[in-house]
Each structure stands twice: as structure tokens, then as C-alpha cells.
Amino acid sequence: MTRLWGFGIAAGAFFFLILVWTLKVDQSLGPSNFISGWAVFGVLVALVLFNGRKRLPFLPLASASWWFYFHITGGFLVVFLFWLHTDIIWPNSLYNQALVFMFYSVSITGIIGLFIEKTYPKSLTQSGVEYIYERIPERIAEIRAEAESLIEECTEKTGSDTLAKHYLEQNSLYWFFIRPRFFFNHIFRGRAAKHWIKNQCSLLDRYLNDEELAYSKKIFDLANTKRIMDFHYSMQRVLKGWLLVHVPLSTGLMVLALWHFVVVQVYL
């Protein structure tokens, strides 16, 4: 936290310096936009270096936490520098609109990514278990096979197919066990999956005898295990996937910014 405060103070001082410099040039009727434009472009390049640092962890280029805090403060700094440079929230020309849209898209996905990186790992830890993302589909298939084995055994031993029929009903247990479910509810840390399982259990148990109830309990224990696994799958997918949106947008922004830089330097 101390390091973050240090970066924040440095970013504030840098913005104040650019602001004062810009106002001074404005008073002398000079091209003040060049100053803020150079500042925006320079900070954007520095932020792109963060991705390069992550790809080169073996080089002594400061710690990962140092670059992370630098990226956070630099991201907020460049937003204020951008507003200082443009003087408006939304421009009129099509090219500038594309550039501004890309900038806002990168900024918004960056803020969302910061929230994800700071909250999702804690939520996963609080679940009390740990799952490797790549192995979750395989583990779900194993749980489904175990549940279906219990249903088959229940049918053979009790001579009743009530549990089996319920399992195969539309939007029932088979639907739940076939693949990860409640993705969007999980990423917003909702309780829809837990309520759904509880409702399925209460709906079914009234039709079962004592022997079938023993099997039903085992199956719904598996369903709760799978619910937690679905939670991990959803959270980890977002953790791994948000960069697949943020990084391409950042690349597109840098291309447009570089082209804007060249055009300004050549024609203005």
C-alpha cells in the first residue's frame, strides 16, 4: 500500500507539472496540445511495457508488484492526461471518435480487470477448495459418471425409477451435471446455483422412500461439489479471459495513437 501511495503522489505531481506547463504555453499562445499529447503517448508506451515485463520474468526489471502498481497509477494518470489533451469527452470527427472509443474501451476493461484481480482470488480462497482450471471439465465428467452410477444402483436395488426419471427430466439434474452452469451468476457471486440445487432436492425427496433418500443425498452432495467447481470454473475463466479483451484493445489503441502521432508531427 505504501508503494501505491508513492506511485499515486508521483503521478499527481507529473499531472500537475504537465497542467502548469500546458497553461503556461496557452498563455503565450503556443501549441499546448503538443505537450499533453506527448505526455499521453509517453505514458501509454510505458503502460505497454508492463505487458512486456510479464513476458520476460527472468530479466531483472523490477518486481512484478512494482510494475503492477505502476500500471494502476499510470492507467488513471493517462485518463486525466487524455482529458487534458482533448478538452472534450467525445469528439466530432470519425477518426477521433474511433481513437477515443478505443481509449475508453481500454480504460474500462482495465478498471474491470483491476477489480477482478483484486477480488476474485480472495473469493476462490474463501471457497475452501482449490481446482486446476484445465482439469475442471474432466472432473465434472467424473462427477456426472459417479452420479449416474448411483442412480443406476438405486434403480436396481429399490426397483423404483423415480430418481432416474427426475434425473433425465428437462432442466433437471442431467442438465446440471452435463457441463458448467450458472456462469454469469457465479461471476457476480450470486446464489442461484445453491438455491436451484436446494429446490431440486426438496421437489424430489417427497416422492422417495427411505432407501431412495439415502441415494438422493449422495447425489445432491455431488451436485453441491459440482456447484463449487462451477464457481471456480467461472471465476478462473474470467481471470484468464479478461486479458484476451484488454490486450488486443490496448494494441489497437497504440496503433491508432502512433498513427495520430505521425500525422500530427508531419502535417501540423
What's the pLDDT score for residue 1?
Answer: 63
Confidence at residue 56, expressed as pLDDT on a 0 to 100 scale? 61
SS3 state of residue 60:
coil
Rg (CA), the chain: 27
Closest Cα to residue 77, out of 132, 4, 136, 27?
4
> H or E element: which one contains 47?
helix 32-55
**Spatial separation of the C-alpha atoms in residues 207 and 202, rounded to whole Å:** 10
Q: What is the pLDDT of residue 71?
A: 86
Residue 55: the pLDDT is 62
> pTM value?
0.83
Show the low-confidence residues of the chain (pLDDT under 50): none
pLDDT of residue 76: 92
Model pLDDT, residue 93:
79
HSE value, Cβ hemisphere, 13 Å, CA-based, for 165? 8
C-alpha cell at 219: 447425489
Query: How far is 220 from 149, CA to CA, in rounded Å?
Result: 14
> Residue 63: what pLDDT?
72
